[in-house]
Chains A and B, each alone.
Chain A
Amino acid sequence: MDFSPSEEQRLLIEMARRFVEEELYPHERTVEETDEVPVEVAERIKQKSRELGLYAAAMPEELGGGGLDTLSMTMLDRELGRASYALHYTVYRPSNILQACVGEQREKYLLPCIRGEKVDCLAMTEPGAGSDVRGMNCRAVRDGDDFVINGTKHFISHADWADFVILMAATGEEDGPRGPRKKITTFLIDKGWPGFTIRPGYKNVSMRGYHNFILEFDDCRVPASQVLGEVDKGFDVANDWLGATRLQVAGTCLGRCDRALELATQWAVDRKQFGQPIGKFQGVSFKLADMALRLRQAELVTYEAAWKHDQGTMTDSDAAMAKLAATEALAFIADEAIQIHGGMGLMNELPLEMIWRDARLERIWEGTSEIQRHIISRGLLRPLGG
C-alpha cells in the first residue's frame, strides 16, 4: 500500500499549507490571548476557504461540497490541523451525519451548511453520561405529532457559532444482547426554539477560542419532521455517518505532530550548549528519532483507516486505532518537543505550549483513549466469546 500523495493530493496539501501559513498562523496569538476568534478574522477565513473549496470539502460534489474522498480529506485535515484549533475550525466541515437529511430537511439544514449559510453543533454528552453515551437522561416523549424534550447536555462545542443542534435523546428502552438499553433518536433543533436554552460552559485549558456550552431542554416541543433518520435509530444514524469523525481527530493531530517535530528538529540544529548544537547529544537526537517513529506509525494507521473508509471496509477497530495512535503520538511528541526546547518551549513565543495544551483534550473527546482501547479489545475478544 502506497499512501504517498497523488498529484491532486500534493496540490491540495500545498494549497492548504499556504492557506494555513498566510490566513491562520498570523491570528494564533490573538486567539490564544483573548480566547476568541475575532469576528472579522472568522469571516475572512470563511470567505477565503469557500473561494478555495476548502469549506465543506468532504461533502459530495453533487451537493455543492468539495467531493474529497476520506484519505484526501485526512491529508487536508492534517494541514489545517497544524494551526490553532479554533482558527482551523472556521474552515468548517458540516457534520457528516447531516447527509441523513431527507425532504425539506435537506434545504433547511444540509445544503445551507454546505453553502456556508448555517453551522451545526452535535449534542450527545451529558453531565451524567460521557463515555456511556447510551446512559443519557435527556428524554424525548412522543405527544401526537410532536416530541417533548427534557434534559441537559454539556461540553457542547461551538454552540455559539451554530444555528442549530443535532441532538441525541432517549426515546424508550429495548432489550439488547446484554440486557435492557435505551433507544436513541436524533433531532434537528434550531436555536431560539421555545424551551431550548444555551448557556456558556466551562473554561477550558485546551483549544482557546473554541468554546463549549450547556444546552437545556425544558418541555421543548418539536414536530416529528425534525427527526434525523428514523425514530429510535439514532445510534444507527450515528454509526453510519460518524465513523470518519475519529479520522478527523487523527488527521488534525498528525498536523500538530508535524509542526512540533519540525520545530524541535530545527531547534536541535540551532541551539548550542556545551559548545555544540544540542542535536549532537544522543539524549536529544534519540528523542527526535522516537518522535519521528511515533508520527510515522500514527500516520500509517490513520491513512490505512481512511483508505479503508473509502473502500467501505473500515471497522470500528480501525477508526479507534487511528484515533488512539494519533492522539497519543501527539501527546508524546508535543511533550518531547517542549523538553528539547527547554524553558523556551513553555513560553508563548512559540506555538508549542498551545500544541501541548491542546493535545491534552484529544485523548478525551470523540471517545477517550480508554474507550478506544475498549473498542479495539472488544474486536479481539468478542469473536472468541470473551
Chain B
Amino acid sequence: MKVLVPVKRVVDYNVKIRVKADGSGVETANVKMSMNPFDEIAVEQAVRLKEAGAAEEVVAVSIGPQQAQETIRTALAMGADRGIHIKHDGEVEPLAVAKLLKAVVEKEGPELVLTGKQAIDDDCNQTGQMLAALLGWAQGTFASKLEIADGGAKVTREVDGGLETIQLKLPAIVSVDLRLNEPRYASLPNIMKAKKKPIDAHEPADFGVDPTPRLKTVKVSEPPPRQGGIKVESVDELVEKLKTEAKVI
C-alpha cells in the first residue's frame, strides 16, 4: 500500500501571531514557519504504518512556495520515502489544494491519503473532505485511532459526546486529530538519510489546475483585548448581564 501525506508550511504554533498593519493578513516576514502540527501527526501515522508492514511507501506532498521543500524535508527526516513539491507563491484555498491533490492521487495511485484535520493558519478543515468528494472515495475525519485490516480502514473518530468507530473501504481519505499519536523527533541518522531522498518539483499548471483564489479577504483584525472580570451581586444580575452584555443566553 502506498500512503500519500499532504503537508503544509504554516506559521509555527509557538509564534505570537501579529496582524499586518494594513489588515490584509498576518505578518509572516521573519516569522518561524514549520509543518502544520496535524500534518506531523499524519506523517507519523504513515511512517508507523510502514514500520508495521501495512504500507510500503510514504510520499509527502506540499503545495506552497520554494521553502515548502523544507517542510517536505522534515517529513522525509521523520521517515517518508520521497516528496512532491508543487510550487506556488500566493495563497491557495482548500478547493485548489484538493484539486491538485486529486491530480497527484491519480498519478501516484495511493490507497490511503492521510491529511491533518485542518491547518492551524486558516483553520479551514475542508481539504480532506473536498478531496474525498472529488475522488469519490470514502472518508474518515478527525481520526484518533486508525487500523488497517481486511482490505479496509477502521477509524475511531472524535465526535461531540464521545468516540465513533467506522469501517472504510480502501482507497480512502483519513484526516487525523490531535490524539492519534505523538510525532517523533527526526533522529540525526534519519536527517542525514533525508538528504538523499528525492523531491519531485512541479507547478500547478502541470496538473491543469488554476490555483487563483476564489475568495477575497476583506479584513483581518486582532481579537479584542481581554477585559478584566467583574463581580456580580446576585444570580439575577448574573443572568441579566449574560443576556444583555455577554449576549450568550
Binding site for B on A (CB under 8 A): 7-8, 10-12, 14-15, 18-19, 51-54, 57, 66-68
Min distance, Cβ A65 to any Cβ of chain B, angstroms: 10
Interface size class of B (residues with CB under 8 A): 10 to 19
Chain A residues in 8 Å Cβ range of B60: none
Q: Is the CB of B188 within 8 A of A68?
A: yes
B151 at the binding interface (Cβ < 8 Å): no
Contact for B187 among A14, A15, A67, A68, CB less than 8 A:
A15
Min distance, Cβ A258 to any Cβ of chain B, angstroms: 13
Those of B167-196 within 8 Å (CB) of chain A: 185-189, 191-192, 194-195
Min distance, Cβ A194 to any Cβ of chain B, angstroms: 40
Task: Give 21 A-B contacts (CB < 8 Å), ordered by A residue.
Answer: A7-B73, A7-B194, A7-B195, A8-B194, A8-B195, A10-B70, A11-B73, A11-B74, A11-B186, A11-B191, A12-B188, A14-B34, A14-B186, A15-B185, A15-B191, A52-B185, A52-B187, A53-B188, A53-B189, A67-B192, A68-B188
Q: Is the CB of B188 within 8 A of A66?
A: yes
Task: Mark each residue of chain B from 33 to 44: 1 if its CB lies under 8 Å from any CB of chain A, else 0.
Answer: 010000000000
What are the 9 closest A-B residue pairs judged by CB atoms, nearest first?
Answer: A53-B188, A11-B191, A52-B187, A53-B187, A66-B188, A15-B185, A11-B77, A53-B189, A15-B186
Chain B residues in 8 Å Cβ range of A14: 34, 74, 186
Chain B residues in 8 Å Cβ range of A57: 188
Bound-state Cα–Cα, A363 to B186, Å: 35
Chain A residues in 8 Å Cβ range of B189: 53, 66
Q: Is the CB of B70 within 8 A of A7?
A: yes
Chain A residues in 8 Å Cβ range of B187: 15, 51-53
Bound-state Cα–Cα, A10 to B34, Å: 11
Those of B54-82 within 8 Å (CB) of chain A: 70, 73-74, 77
Can you add 6 more A-B contacts, CB < 8 Å, to A8-B191, A18-B185, A66-B189? A8-B194, A8-B195, A10-B70, A15-B186, A53-B187, A68-B188
Binding site for A on B (CB under 8 A): 34, 70, 73-74, 77, 185-189, 191-192, 194-195
Q: Which residue of B lies closest to A21 (CB)?
A: B14
Bound-state Cα–Cα, A12 to B186, Å: 8
Q: Which residue of A lies closest to B32 (CB)?
A: A14
Chain A residues in 8 Å Cβ range of B185: 15, 18-19, 52
Bound-state Cα–Cα, A11 to B191, Å: 7
Given contacts A15-B186, A51-B187, A53-B187, contact A8 B70 (CB under 8 A): no
Bound-state Cα–Cα, A362 to B187, Å: 30
Q: Which residue of A lies closest to B12 (CB)?
A: A14
Q: Is the CB of B188 within 8 A of A52?
A: yes
Q: Which residue of A lies closest to B185 (CB)?
A: A15
Bound-state Cα–Cα, A206 to B189, Å: 34
Chain A residues in 8 Å Cβ range of B194: 7-8, 11
Bound-state Cα–Cα, A18 to B188, Å: 13
Bound-state Cα–Cα, A10 to B192, Å: 12
Bound-state Cα–Cα, A80 to B192, Å: 19
Chain A residues in 8 Å Cβ range of B34: 14
Bound-state Cα–Cα, A11 to B79, Å: 13
Bound-state Cα–Cα, A228 to B191, Å: 34
Q: Which residue of B lies closest to A7 (CB)?
A: B73
Bound-state Cα–Cα, A139 to B77, Å: 51
Chain B residues in 8 Å Cβ range of A52: 185, 187-188
Chain A residues in 8 Å Cβ range of B74: 11, 14
Min distance, Cβ B94 to any Cβ of chain A, angstroms: 27
Chain B residues in 8 Å Cβ range of A10: 70
Bound-state Cα–Cα, A66 to B187, Å: 10
